[in-house]
Amino acid sequence: MITARGFTYLNRPDDFFYLDYIGGLTGLRSYPFFSVGGQQTAFMRASYLTPIFQSINQQVGAYTIDKLFAHLYAETGNGWGGPLDIGNQLKSGLGAELRMSFNSHYLFPLKLFVNGTYGLNRFDVNFSDDFITGSGDNTVSYGREFLFYFGLTFDFDLL
């Protein structure tokens, strides 16, 4: 599966509030949400989804476990323009996810996922003096760290 997204502003607003942020669970999972953004953004993810177990049909209380999937992916992207100034180099990462499909009370479909990802590129974000951090520094480093996500949804379509 290939997932791609591109974005651009036509009027180029120069404020952190108006940047398009593409990090986090809905974008570049290898980097936190506010770490990658800009006036123009683009990212692409190549995924491999495969079933591990199908038709499990195991009853656990009010829940029926149905399927278990593995999701492996590689991703890359960046944000350009605006005050974030994260550089022009693409940020890349690798990740794996375990997905479980089950039903609740014989009726409601539920999906549980656990995701682990690693950002391959290290970069710094320099903030203006208006930002106050706990350490007093105006620089935050992102990348080369493991990030974990988990959730309970009704469908995997947006993931």
- Binning pLDDT at 50, 70 and 90, where does residue 157 land? confident
34-73 pLDDT, tens digit per residue, is 999 999 999 999 999 999 999 899 999 999 999 999 999 9
pLDDT at 158 over 70: no
Q: How high is the pLDDT of residue 126?
A: 84
Alpha-carbon 62 to chain mean position: 31
Say which residue, 128 or 55, is predicted with more confidence. Answer: 55
> Quick one: average pLDDT of 72-83?
95
CB 90 within 8 A of CB 78: yes
Extended beta strands in the chain, E state: 2-8, 20-21, 37-38, 40-53, 58-60, 63-80, 91-104, 108-119, 123-126, 139-142, 146-153
CB 81 within 8 A of CB 69: no
pLDDT at 17 over 90: no
- What is the rounded (10 degree) CA torsion for 93, 144, 37, 6? -10
- Binning pLDDT at 50, 70 and 90, where does residue 83 land? confident
Mean pLDDT of the chain: 92
pLDDT at 143 over 90: yes
Q: Where are the domains of the chain?
A: 2-153
Q: How high is the pLDDT of residue 159?
A: 62
Say which residue, 133 or 155, is predicted with more confidence. Answer: 155
Percent of the chain exceeding pLDDT 90 equals: 74
CB 45 within 8 A of CB 25: no
